[in-house]
């Protein structure tokens, strides 16, 4: 009888030990899950890794970018000088990430070609044919090639997958556009002006 009691007690202890192990494992699993959820919450509060380059190591000679364009930590302060205006649009290897807060400023003038004083303001040109506007696409934050005058100064937040900056220009003849032979512009709109630029800050 004593032998059976000892066996029974041993069995009871084994079951209790197993239950303790399961409880411990369950508690550990819950702790790990809680940690994972907390990490996800933190990630959701600060989406994406912002410590990244926005430009490739080698930049096309066609693009005149300020040193700030190659920064890796926010805020990033990037100026594109003399954006391409001798074709309808150009994709710049400067990227935006989902969750980026973006502000755009722009100004200066462009040579639109022709006779007489032919330079025009890049953002809000004075022209009687509704041409010569600078255009921009910030993927996930603007429309496709919005006029800069409708984007400048607006707070933008990048959604979707983000993507590369696109700058464009409105004209009916691109072959004689550029930044040569500066004049005061149609109606003196470019008197004492600088060449066109786009200034982007990501925070």
Looking at the fold, whether 74 and 158 belong to one and the same domain comes out as: yes
Looking at the fold, whether 73 and 148 belong to one and the same domain comes out as: yes
The total of other beta-carbon atoms located within 10 Å of residue 90's CB is 18
Higher pLDDT, 38 or 125: 125
| pLDDT for 37 beyond 50 | no
Task: Identify the band that residue 47 occupies on the pLDDT scale cut at 50, 70 and 90.
Answer: low
Q: Does residue 51 sit within a domain?
A: no
Q: Does residue 21 sit within a domain?
A: yes
Tell me the C-alpha to C-alpha distance, in Å, between residue 54 and each of 100, 102, 108, 148, 181: 12, 13, 25, 21, 33
Half-sphere exposure of 146 (CA within 13 A, CB side): 15
The total of other beta-carbon atoms located within 10 Å of residue 163's CB is 17
Indicate the Cα dihedral angle 197, 118, 186, 144, nearest 10°: -40
Q: Does residue 53 sit within a domain?
A: no
| CATH number, residue 126 | 2.60.120
pTM: 0.75
Q: Does residue 190 sit within a domain?
A: yes
Looking at the fold, whether 87 and 28 belong to one and the same domain comes out as: no
Q: What integer pLDDT is reported at residue 163 of this predicted model?
A: 97
| pLDDT for 73 beyond 70 | yes
Q: Does residue 176 sit within a domain?
A: yes
CB 104 within 8 A of CB 148: yes
Kindly state the tokens that stand for 78. 């990037």
Q: Residue 33's domain spans which residues? A: 1-46
């Amino acid at each position: 009888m004593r032998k059976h009691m000892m066996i029974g007690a041993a069995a009871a202890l084994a079951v209790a030990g197993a239950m303790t192990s399961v409880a411990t494992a369950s508690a550990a699993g819950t702790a790990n899950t809680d940690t994972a959820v907390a990490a996800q919450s933190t990630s959701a509060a600060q989406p994406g890794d912002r410590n990244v380059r926005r430009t490739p190591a080698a930049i096309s000679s066609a693009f005149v970018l300020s040193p700030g364009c190659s920064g890796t930590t926010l805020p990033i302060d990037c100026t594109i000088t003399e954006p391409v205006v001798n074709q309808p649009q150009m994709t710049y290897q400067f990227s935006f990430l989902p969750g980026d807060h973006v502000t755009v400023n722009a100004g200066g003038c462009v040579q639109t070609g022709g006779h007489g004083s032919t330079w025009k303001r890049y953002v809000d040109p004075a022209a009687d044919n509704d041409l010569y506007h600078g255009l921009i696409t910030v993927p996930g934050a603007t429309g496709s090639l919005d006029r800069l005058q409708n984007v400048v100064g607006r707070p933008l937040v990048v959604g979707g997958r983000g993507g590369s900056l696109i700058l464009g220009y409105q004209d009916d003849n691109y072959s004689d556009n550029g930044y040569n032979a500066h004049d005061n512009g149609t109606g003196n709109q470019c008197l004492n002006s600088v060449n066109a630029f786009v200034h982007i800050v990501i925070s």
